[in-house]
Amino acid sequence: MTAESPFDALAAKYDAWFDGKGRLAFEIELAALRPLLPGLPRPWLEVGVGTGRFAQALGIPVGVDPSRELLKLAQERGIEAIQASGENLPFGDESFGTVFLLTTWEFLAEPAGVLAGIRRVLRPGGIFVNAYLDRGGKWGASYVEKGRAGHPLFSYARFGTFDEVREATEAAGFVIDEVTSTLFQGPGETTILEAPRPGYQPGASFVVVKASKPGKT
């Protein structure tokens, strides 16, 4: 049986954030992800699907997450939501064309194990899209402080830098093809829609790393 997730007790509150204070930040994040979608090989999977907000908005039909309560909300959004961890994905080798990890990196206890699991289920030439919250951005820095103060979710989070994410991604056998940065406005000051910027840009809170699994499709 999968262990209880810290998200279980806060699922409804976490989900409601996207309709309130986080609405514009979420739209900014989606604006960085949508240009990548055309041409991404199918089928698609999201690891750490949560409540299914990203999956629903981007058209990702299948997702896994350890949290039973988050998955209930994802299922209500029409996602095929399966309770599982990234280290133990319940799929055969080379089952997917693209795997997404969207604001989930921060909550991975074993990033190397999750990356290995993602690489296993990806087909040769498949794509891995990792959108993470960078520790150097204003949102990441704010969440780090909240975690230090004992926040019930962010006290479990580990916010990384671009160099750390890049090194882990390459160590897992992926080749980084493209990087996009956005969300330079911080909490309480996010008032306008931002356009994503190419490459890694210091000060970005939301960084998208698109990488590929070597081999021919």
Peptide bond into 43 cis (omega under 30): yes
CB of 190 within 8 A of CB of 20? Answer: no
Name the 3-class secondary structure at 42.
Answer: coil
Half-sphere exposure in the Cβ direction for 89 (13 Å, CA):
26
Read off the pLDDT band of 15 (50, 70, 90).
confident
Tell me the C-alpha to C-alpha distance, in Å, between residue 60 and each of 88, 120, 148. Answer: 20, 19, 34
Q: For 79, phi and psi rounded to 5 degrees?
A: -90, 140
Q: For 21, phi and psi rounded to 5 degrees?
A: -60, -30
Report the share of the chain in percent with pLDDT over 90.
Answer: 84
d(CA 194, CA 62): 28
132 or 217, which is more confident: 132
pLDDT digits (tens, 9 = 90+) for 41-77: 999 999 999 999 999 999 999 999 999 999 999 999 9
| Edge-to-edge strands, sheet with 62-65 | 80-83, 62-65, 44-47, 96-102, 122-133, 206-212, 175-182, 197-198
Global pTM reads 0.95
Identify the DSSP state of 203. Answer: T
Give the relative orientation of helices 111-121 and 162-171 as an angle to the nearest 10 degrees.
50
Q: Are strands 175-182 and 80-83 parallel, antiparallel or unpaired?
A: unpaired
Sequence ranges of the domains in the chain: 8-192+205-212
Q: Please name the amino acid found at residue 106.
A: E
Give the chain's largest Cα–Cα span.
Answer: 48
Read off the pLDDT band of 217 (50, 70, 90).
low
CATH class of residue range 8-192+205-212: alpha beta
pLDDT digits (tens, 9 = 90+) for 135-155: 999 999 999 999 999 988 888
d(CA 49, CA 12): 15
Q: Please name the amino acid found at residue 176.
A: I
